[in-house]
């Protein structure tokens, strides 16, 4: 069983579970919390709990991880802005429970949780315990849409944009026409092509009663 103590820059798992951002308040759940069973994602056998993504996010995460610590939670916005300036769309091939599709675009996110990057809700309807991923695929579009996308990411309406396509699946295989590193919960977890699988209710976490 896990107890989540917020201490990173994003704290997105705590946010998704309504765990207080204050460490002292979060520690009170050891006495008052209830147990919730959550799914885990696995990228070629390596576990993660939030969102694994590749494409534009590969560049943005790398730049955020290289950013000065003084930027704090703003590293994600910093990484996104810098990545977008040089970004060129890629061709992705995605298999969802064996059903294949291909598209030209910017990003593929395999979401177990609704948010990442310090509160960006790019998979608004994802549930941590439904046994399914929300696979959010961002299609090709004009660069000028970037500011709109940032606001939509934070208010949860990202998936409503016409260039976004969302599917649900238990197993997702992703390949692209150029090399990408997949990042999960802010850290590199594998290089494309990868296979992502869900492990239903694989971890027990203390959450608010």
In a domain, 178, yes or no: yes
pLDDT tens per residue across span 105-120: 999 999 999 999 888 8
In a domain, 139, yes or no: yes
Output 9 or 123, whichever has higher pLDDT: 123
| % pLDDT > 90, the chain | 62
In a domain, 9, yes or no: no
Output 21 or 130, whichever has higher pLDDT: 130
Q: What is the CATH number of the domain that holds 144?
A: 2.60.200.40
- In this prediction, residue 27 carries a pLDDT of 84
Domain that holds residue 168: 41-199
pLDDT tens per residue across span 64-74: 888 877 776 67
- In this prediction, residue 144 carries a pLDDT of 86
pLDDT reading at 36 higher than 80: yes
pLDDT reading at 76 higher than 80: no
Burial of 19 (0-12, 13-18, 19+ CB in 10 A): buried
d(CA 152, CA 122): 8
Average pLDDT over residues 81-94: 93
What sections of the chain are H helices per DSSP? 12-16, 23-27, 29-32, 56-66, 75-86, 146-155
**Number of structural domains, the chain?**
1
In a domain, 16, yes or no: no
Query: What are the angstrom distances between the C-alpha of 74 and each of 54, 77, 192?
Result: 20, 5, 27
pLDDT reading at 145 higher than 90: no
In a domain, 76, yes or no: yes
Q: What does pLDDT average to over the chain?
A: 91
In a domain, 32, yes or no: no
- In this prediction, residue 4 carries a pLDDT of 84
Nearest to 133 by CA among 172, 164, 188: 172
Burial of 193 (0-12, 13-18, 19+ CB in 10 A): middle
Decide: 183 and 61 in contact? Cβ < 8 Å. Answer: yes
In a domain, 27, yes or no: no
d(CA 209, CA 207): 6
Query: What are the angstrom distances between the C-alpha of 101 and each of 1, 98, 167, 180, 198?
Result: 38, 10, 11, 18, 20
- In this prediction, residue 126 carries a pLDDT of 97
In a domain, 2, yes or no: no
Decide: 44 and 54 in contact? Cβ < 8 Å. Answer: no
pLDDT tens per residue across span 154-175: 899 999 999 999 999 999 999 9
Lookup: tokens for 69? 């610590």
- In this prediction, residue 67 carries a pLDDT of 80
């Amino acid at each position: 069983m896990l107890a989540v103590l917020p201490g990173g820059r994003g704290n997105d798992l705590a946010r998704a579970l309504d765990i207080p951002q204050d460490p002292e308040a979060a520690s009170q759940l050891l006495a008052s919390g209830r147990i919730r069973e959550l799914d885990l994602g696995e990228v070629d056998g390596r576990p993660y709990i939030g969102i694994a993504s590749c494409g534009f996010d590969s560049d943005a995460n790398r730049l955020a991880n290289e950013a000065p610590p003084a930027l704090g939670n703003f590293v994600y916005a910093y990484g996104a802005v810098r990545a977008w300036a040089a970004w060129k769309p890629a061709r992705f091939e995605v298999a969802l429970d064996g059903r294949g599709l291909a598209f030209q675009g910017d990003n593929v996110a395999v979401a177990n949780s609704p948010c990442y990057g310090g509160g960006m809700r790019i998979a608004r309807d994802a549930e941590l315990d439904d046994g399914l991923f929300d696979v959010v695929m961002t299609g090709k579009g004009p660069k000028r849409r970037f500011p709109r996308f940032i606001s939509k990411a934070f208010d949860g309406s990202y998936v409503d944009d016409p260039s976004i396509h969302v599917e649900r699946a238990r197993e997702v295989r992703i390949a692209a026409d150029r090399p990408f590193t997949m990042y999960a919960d802010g850290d590199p977890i594998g290089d494309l092509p990868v296979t992502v699988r869900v492990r239903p209710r694989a971890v027990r976490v203390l959450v608010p009663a």
